[in-house]
A and B are shown apart, each in its own frame.
Chain A
Amino acid sequence: MLDVRGLTVAFDGLPAVDAVDLSVPDGEVLAVLGPSGCGKSTLLRAVAGLERPDAGTVTWDGDDLTRTPTHRRGFALMFQDGQLFDHLTVRRNVGYAQRLRRVDRATVRAEVDALLRLVGLEGYADRLPRTLSGGERQRVALARSLAAAPRLLLLDEPLSALDAELRIRLAADLRRILRDAATTALMVTHDQDEAFAVADRIAVMRAGRIVQEGPTAAVWSAPADPWTARFLGCSEVLEGDAAARVLAAAGLPSAAGDRVGVRPGGLRVAAPGPSDGDRLRGVVVAVGLTPDGRHVRVDVDGVGVLDALGGPGWTGEPGQAVDVDVDPVTLARVGP
């Protein structure tokens, strides 16, 4: 199990990673999620041993690795752009770590073939990296990292360089592969889809610090603070009376001091129906089209302007009075 305690990395006196505590139990995938520039890549590089920390420790099963050079840590790092060795074939790239350990050729060969099958690239062994597409390169990079049989796999935005459709498909593959191999992994990413699709647990990072850590679903439904809620897809964070009204509309109990994050996908606009005590009512401010459907801005009575989606069959225009239904599952309880 990986244990990071009080890790601090400063550049010219400015901390990029500020007293970070983290742990990754065996067989789990932890995603560090944060906007660009929050220090997550530096954190990953420090865990890999590529960046010297100014303070703190990196330990594995109790062994202090803080001063151990990268190649003796047994952590494989997969780079954002793969960093395949262009002068070596796919086979030599994937077999690189084992050849370093002087594993005999036949074993390496079999292992490489097995890994290429695992990442869905059978028959690519003799190609050169330059001839591969972006998605194929990332698969090779993953196979190469797995071939090192690392006790911890470090993933630096493994899918960010790919286009959206490929990213979703590869994310599912990545999760399956990591699961099947029972790999312990630490991934950093700015893309919440990537994090949610791959990781068991999520740590949200902001300005060099971890602001929240927990199981994926728990973090999603209970962000630690308004900033985290917004980063996790909430368009508004409501307090006081507005929060109480939204909770009531969702059929949930409320207490004083509740803060609620609302996600546009959880609010559906419908034609006004018979008056019902708890239902939200409002007036359409603007309508736009998105790939997910009709995007509507509604000025909700007693709450304010919210982003919502047009419900099934609803076609309306600005100025129209509407009802807004709330899906309780999408609401986030925002911490203090």
Chain B
Amino acid sequence: MSAGPGTVARRPPVGRRSAGIAVAEVARVLLPALVPVAVVGVFFVLPVAAMLQRGVWPDGSFEPGAVLDVLQRPRTRRVLWFTVWSSTAATTIAVGLGLPAAYVLHRLRFPGRGVIRAALLVPFVLPTVVVGLAVRELISTSGPLGFLGLDGSAAAILIGLVFFNVSVVIRTVGVAWEGLDRRPAEAAAALGASPVQVLRTVTWPALRPAVVSAASVVFLFCATAFGVVLVLGGVRYSSVETEIYLLTADLFDLQAAAALSIVQMLAVIALLVVVGRLRRVPDPTVRRSVAAAARPQRRDAPAIAATLLVLGAVALPILALVLGSLRRDGRWTLAHYEALSGRGDDLLAVPVTEALANSLRIAVDATWMSLSLGLVVAVVVTRRVRSRTAGRVRAVLDGFFMLPLGVSAVTLGFGFLIALDEPPLDLRSSPLLVPIAQALVALPLVVRTLVPVLAGIDDRQRQAAASLGAGPWRRLATVDLAVVWRPLLAAAGFAFAVSLGEFGATSFIARPTEPTMPVVIYRLLGHPGALNYGTAMAAAVVLAGVTALVILAVERLRVPGVGAW
């Protein structure tokens, strides 16, 4: 019998062969994922589950009705409503301000553009406590914008939320806008479309996925914001996240806290699924062009004005904070900064400088942890697979590692306290507890920075290397490593910054004798006295400065799309 075309008999049965491939592929995807899955399982799923268990099984018996009861409480409803409307409003404002700024900063050419772009990356990773304090100082009755009477209002919280998230919009949309081929727009203009018509019929449809994706992520960040709402909300305003904190830490109403956690988790997971759908691009390996920036023209004036507004909105609170930290009783002074090293009283067990040392040490640990986890995860979820089963396994893993994004850091921190306090996992006194929690909080950010880069590598590059005689490690070095080292450094910077500012989980698990900077700042704020307040501001300035330095270093790496979602 000839083996020419059309002879099917000699081929192995198609079904069995592809099943074999599928099993091999699933194994190829699953095996390297084992370690990260175990880590996330023990240090994330376990604590969160323990926390939820306390709520739903209060006395060993399943009482889901209790959750519903909690949701019926007027206060709970008020909290839910506030969370939804404040997040919606903040998202709308952030997108409205961010779009023109994205255009100006990514499509126009002018001196100083790089510096401004770098500066606008800073707010995103600034510690939440610092931002809360800065906004409070800006609008306090004695502050620069005190005459507006916004102190203690919901508007203050909105300002804080927008401050953080406008940079997310600018990054995400700007990167997409930058990569838009300008020829379709030119084709439309050549067919008679005015600039507005071009924007509506060509640019907007191309940009919409990025805008919707940015808006969803911003909404997510707003809805789970902790530090800002805690510092600015006072007693009047509470979001789901701060309410969980209040219920667990102050009122010890675990059932209510668990109920809120469940609601939050479900909402966030639903949102993440939507975002994931929107983010999907047809072919990540398509090389995107970066359009040459154009000279600003007269019709760009409104967009430029909006950008200046954004810059002002971002710079003002920081400025107010720095000025506030240097003034006392109407006079310039360095007393607040001097107090940083000298306080060892009962309010703060240690001087602030020692807290800074703690923060830095913990951040180093958190960085290497989240980086090594994130790298493995990124490699796993970008693996090319052919079988549908393997693809599904990969998608599930992808979602699994995004979980920390969706679960309240407060829930995580409290879960750590109750789940990891007995053998075999008695880690409550371990110095690694805080960095582990922070590494998990930073994990989604690390993965999101690495995944687009790894996914963008054309597999044929590796095949070409292989055909030239390169073994697996050699291929990794010549193809993957060459592309990935910058994003890896950038991700390290992000993880470091996130760890420095992490407050939600850390506030629960940091040992009193070993506080981090955000914890110290919050403790100082909680006690009256001009010196305490001033010292808090000085500490916030120092923390913001360190964070900004790290992020500006990241920006120097010029990783395309860094900070975009």
Q: Is the CB of B191 within 8 A of A145?
A: yes
The answer for the CA separation of A77 and B192 in the assembled complex, in Å, is 10
| Supplied contacts A71-B191, A71-B193, 18 more A-B pairs, CB within 8 Å | A48-B190, A50-B189, A69-B189, A70-B190, A71-B190, A76-B190, A77-B190, A83-B184, A83-B186, A85-B184, A85-B188, A85-B201, A85-B205, A87-B206, A97-B191, A100-B191, A100-B192, A100-B197
Say yes or no: A50 contacts B191, CB within 8 Å: no
Neighbouring A residues of B201 by C-beta, 8 Å? 85, 96, 100
| A75: contacting residue among B190, B193, B206, CB under 8 A | B190
B197 x A50 contact (CB < 8 A):
no
Q: B187, A77: Cβ atoms under 8 Å?
A: yes
Cβ contact of A71, chosen from B183, B184, B192, B206, cutoff 8 A: B192
Determine the distance from Cα of A97 to Cα of B206 in the docked complex, in whole angstroms: 19
Do B205 and A70 touch (CB < 8 A)? no
Q: List 19 A-B contacts (CB under 8 A).
A: A49-B189, A50-B186, A50-B190, A70-B190, A71-B190, A71-B192, A72-B192, A76-B192, A77-B190, A79-B187, A85-B187, A85-B201, A96-B193, A97-B191, A97-B192, A97-B193, A100-B197, A100-B201, A148-B191
B-contact bits for A77-99, CB 8 A (1 contact / 0 none):
10100010101000000001100
What are the interface flags for B184-222 relative to A under an 8 Å C-beta threshold, 1 for contact and 0 otherwise? 101111111111011001100110000000000000000
Chain B residue at minimum C-beta to C-beta distance from A97: B191
CA–CA, A74 and B190, complex, Å:
8
- Asked if A70 contacts B206 (CB within 8 A), the reply is no
Cβ–Cβ < 8 Å partners of B202 in chain A: 85
Verify B186–A96 contact, CB threshold 8 A.
no
* A45 to B, closest residue via Cβ: B186
| B193: A residues at CB distance < 8 A | 71, 96-97, 100
The answer on a CB contact under 8 Å between A76 and B189 is no
Contacts of B190 in A (CB 8 A): 48, 50, 70-71, 75-77, 145, 154
User: A residues near B, CB below 8 A?
Assistant: 48-50, 69-72, 74-77, 79, 83, 85, 87, 96-97, 100-101, 144-145, 148, 154
Q: Chain B residues near A145: list those with CB within 8 A.
A: 190-191
Per the bound structure, the CA–CA distance linking A144 and B188 in Å amounts to 10
* Residues from chain B with Cβ under 8 Å of A96 in the complex: 188, 191, 193, 201
Q: Which residues of A contact B188 (CB under 8 A)?
A: 71, 85, 96
Distance of A83 Cα from B190 Cα, bound (Å): 11
Find chain B residues with CB under 8 A from A101 CB: 192
B265 CB to closest chain A CB (Å) equals: 35
Closest Cβ neighbor of A80 among chain B residues: B183
Give the Cβ gap from B530 to chain A, nearest Cβ, in Å. Answer: 59
The reply to whether B183 and A83 contact each other, CB–CB distance below 8 Å, is yes
Return A132 CB to nearest CB of chain B, in Å. 16
Identify the interface centre among A85, A144, A145, A154: most chain B CB within 10 Å of its CB. Answer: A85
Given known contacts A76-B191, A85-B202, A97-B192, is B186 in contact with A70 (CB within 8 Å)? Answer: yes
Minimum CB distance partner of B200 in chain A: A100
Contact-residue bracket for chain B = 10 to 19
Closest 9 pairs (CB-CB, A-B)? A77-B190, A70-B189, A83-B187, A97-B191, A71-B189, A148-B191, A87-B205, A83-B183, A71-B192
Which A residue's beta carbon lies closest to that of B202? A85
Complex Cα–Cα for A311 and B192 (A): 54
Task: Return A183 CB to nearest CB of chain B, in Å.
Answer: 15
- Closest chain B residue, CB of each to CB of A70: B189
How far, in whole Å, are A154 and B186 apart by their CA atoms in the complex?
13
What is the distance, in angstroms, from A309's C-beta to the closest C-beta of chain B? 39
A144 surroundings in chain B (CB, below 8 A): 191
Chain B CB within 10 Å, residue with most, of A71, A72, A87: A71
Closest residue of chain A to B206, judged by CB? A87
Distance between A276 CB and nearest chain B CB, rounded to angstroms? 58
Query: Which DSSP category, helix, strand, loop or mixed, fits chain B's interface?
Result: helix
How would residues 281 to 313 of chain B score, 1 for a CB under 8 Å from any chain A CB and 0 otherwise?
A: 000000000000000000000000000000000
CB <8 Å contact, B192 and A74: yes
CB nearest to B181 among chain A residues: A83
Closest chain B CB from A144 CB (angstroms): 7
Contact flag A71-B205 (CB < 8 Å), given A50-B189, A83-B184: no
For the complex, give the distance between the alpha carbons of A174 and B190 in Å: 20
- In the bound assembly, the distance between CA atoms of A149 and B266 in angstroms comes to 54
CA distance A50 to B198 in the complex (A): 14
Chain A residues contacting B186 (CB-CB under 8 Å) are 48, 50, 70, 77, 79, 83
Most chain A CB neighbours (cut-off 10 Å) among B188, B189, B190, B192: B190
- C-alpha gap A145/B189 in the complex (Å): 11
Min Cβ gap A139→B in Å is 15
Alpha-carbon distance A87/B197, docked complex (angstroms) = 16
CB nearest to B197 among chain A residues: A100
Kindly list chain B residues whose C-beta atoms are within 8 Å of the C-beta of A69: 189, 194-195
Interface centre among B187, B188, B206 (most CB of A within 10 A): B187
**Least Cβ–Cβ distance between B210 and chain A, in angstroms:** 14
- Report how far A75 CA is from B202 CA in the complex, Å: 19
For the complex, give the distance between the alpha carbons of A69 and B191 in Å.
12
CA distance A154 to B190 in the complex (A): 9
Q: How far is the CA of A310 from the CA of B113 in the complex (A)?
A: 65
- Residues of A near B189 (CB, < 8 A) are 49-50, 69-71
Q: How far is the CA of A74 from the CA of B206 in the complex (A)?
A: 25
Q: How far does the Cβ of A188 sit from chain B's closest Cβ, in whole Å?
A: 14
Complex contact B192–A148 (CB within 8 A): yes
A100 to B202, CA, bound (A): 12
Closest partner residue, chain B, to A77 (CB atom): B190
| Chain B nearest Cβ from A207, distance in angstroms | 23
Q: Which residues of A contact B205 (CB under 8 A)?
A: 85, 87
Minimum distance in angstroms from A99 CB to a CB of chain B: 8
CA–CA, A76 and B205, complex, Å: 22
CB A158 to nearest CB in B, in angstroms, measures 13
- Complexed CA–CA distance, A83 and B189 (Å): 12
With a cutoff of 8 Å between Cβ atoms, the chain A residues found around residue B206 in the complex are 87
Q: Please, which residue of chain B has its CB at the minimum distance from the CB of A147?
A: B191
Which residues from chain A contact B187 at a C-beta distance below 8 Å?
A: 77, 79, 83, 85
How far, in angstroms, from A79 to B183 measured CA to CA in the complex? 8
Give complex CA distance A257, B280 in Å: 69
| B446 CB, nearest partner CB in chain A, Å | 33
Closest Cβ of chain A to B287, distance in Å, is 15
Q: Find chain B residues with CB under 8 A from A71 CB.
A: 188-195, 197-198
Task: Please give me the residue from chain A that is nearest to B183 by CB atom.
Answer: A83
- Provide the residues of chain A in CB contact with B191, threshold 8 Å: 71, 76, 96-97, 100, 144-145, 148
CB distance from B205 to the nearest CB of A (A): 5
Bound CA span A79–B206, Å: 19
Bound complex: CA A85 to CA B201 (Å): 9
- Docked Cα-Cα span, A74 to B187, in Å, equals 12
Chain A nearest CB from B487 CB (Å) reads: 28
The minimal Cβ–Cβ distance linking A120 to chain B, given in whole angstroms, is 21
A76 to B189, CA, bound (A): 9
Chain B residues with CB below 8 A from A50, complex form:
186, 189-190
CA distance A96 to B198 in the complex (A): 11
Q: How far is the CB of B386 from chain A (nearest CB, A)?
A: 22
Which residues in B have their C-beta under 8 angstroms from that of A83?
A: 183-184, 186-187
Shortest Cβ distance from residue B197 to the other chain A in the assembled complex, whole angstroms:
6
Measured between beta carbons, the chain B residues less than 8 angstroms from A70 are: 186, 189-190
Q: Which residues of A contact B195 (CB under 8 A)?
A: 69, 71
CB distance from A302 to the nearest CB of B (A): 54
- Give every chain A residue within 8 A of B184 (Cβ-Cβ): 83, 85
Bound-complex Cα distance A50 to B193 (A)? 13
Q: How far is the CB of B53 from chain A (nearest CB, A)?
A: 48
Q: A81's closest neighbor in chain B, by CB? A: B183
**Would you give the shortest CB distance from A3 to chain B, in whole angstroms?**
19
Q: How far is the CA of A72 from the CA of B197 in the complex (A)?
A: 13
Closest to A52 in B: B295
- The winner among B189, B191, B194, B202 for most chain A CB atoms within 10 A is B191
A97 cross-chain contacts in B, Cβ below 8 A: 191-193
Tell me the smallest distance from the CB of A52 to a CB of chain B, in Å. Answer: 10
> Which B residues lie within 8 Å of A85 (CB)?
184, 187-188, 201-202, 205
A48, A70, A85, A154, most chain B CB atoms within 10 A: A70
